[in-house]
Amino acid sequence: MSRQLIILICVLVLSCKSESSQPGGTQSPPDQGESQKLEAQTRKADTIEDKQPAAADRFPAPEGWREITAADDGFFLDIRYATTNNFVDAIMYGCGKCFLRAEVADKLLQIRDELQKKNLGIKLFDCYRPAPVQERLWEKVPNASYVTPPWKGSQHNRGVALDLTITTADGEQLDMGTAFDYFGEEAHHTYTQHSAEIQANRTLLKTLMEHYGFASIRTEWWHYSIASMQDLAVSRWEWGCEE
């Protein structure tokens, strides 16, 4: 056999081999040893997950949303609708959790960082509120002065609003002049009879929130939302509560 012929046969064999490994080419299945190895790896991964299931895996927030937690994010959570300590005197959430649209959560984390520099913290009273909860609230209090009608939808139902106050590093609330969800003119931003300390506390919160793009409403010192996201759809997703 001539040298040229041998080279030609080699080229043909190699090109066939490389063609068969292209996508769409004929693939031989992995041998049994290989597939057993893969199976073992999968089992190992399952076992690790079974031992340490991440909350986010068990009750995933919708894509583009984020959970804010006391443990991971350094907030104080006092989600009132998970208790009877609220203006409807009824438990509206199975458990107290804080979910927000991711962009809103990112802003909140930056505000937390700013306050931590001053040795202060944040307490959250309410974040995302599922639309079915808004409907149940409306059934209890069908009065638009206190509850946003479900057909309109609250900014809380869109995951772009939150109710919060400033605390000391230990979680003690700064004096804002009224309790959360106090319905009266003392809770209004326009009320001018509070002490200088209370005014300063409110101004600290409002200035920081506005700096990061949040807007306030006149009647509630604790409520802030991202005005540019107010046209997003309300969400009916509800979080799970099992440990």
Q: How far is the CB of 225 from Zn ion (least distance, A)?
A: 8
Cα end-to-end distance, the chain, whole Å: 75
Distance CA 208, CA 215 (A): 11
Nearest approach in angstroms of CB 161 to Zn ion is 5
Residue with tokens 């064999």: 13
Only one of the segments 64-72, 84-92, 159-167, 234-242 lies at the binding site for Zn ion (rule: CB under 5 A); that segment is 159-167
Q: Helix or strand or coil: residue 173?
A: strand
Nearest approach, Cβ of residue 173 and Zn ion (Å): 16
Closest contact distance (angstroms) between CB of 222 and Zn ion is 7
Nearer to Zn ion (CB atom), residue 78 or residue 163: 163
Closer residue to Zn ion, CB minimum distance, 67 or 181: 181
Q: Does 67 bind Zn ion (CB under 5 A)?
A: no
**Alpha-carbon gap, residue 61 to 70, rounded angstroms:** 17
Backbone angles phi, psi at 224, to 5 degrees: -135, 145
Closest CA to 80 of 59, 95, 99, 65: 95
**Cα-based distances in Å from 191 to 8, 96, 155, 187, 202:** 93, 31, 24, 7, 11
Nearest by Cα to 109 from 63, 66, 62: 66
In this chain, which residue has its C-beta nearest to Zn ion? 223
Q: Which stretch binds Zn ion (CB under 5 A): 58-66, 80-88, 110-118, 157-165?
A: 157-165
55 or 148, CB closer to Zn ion?
Answer: 148
Closest CA to 209 of 108, 65, 100: 108
- x/- map, 163-182, Zn ion, by CB under 5 A: x-------------------
Please give the size of the binding site for Zn ion, defined by CB under 5 A. 2
| Helix H or strand E encompassing 17 | helix 3-20
Residues 210-229 that bind Zn ion (CB under 5 A): 223
Q: Closest approach of Cβ 90 to Zn ion, in Å?
A: 17
Q: Which is nearer to Zn ion, 67 or 163 (CB)?
A: 163
* Residue number with CB closer to Zn ion (214 or 239): 214
Binding status of residue 97 toward Zn ion by CB under 5 A:
no
CA dist list (Å): 178 to 158, 161, 204, 221, 234: 26, 20, 16, 9, 29
Residues near Zn ion (CB under 5 A)? 163, 223
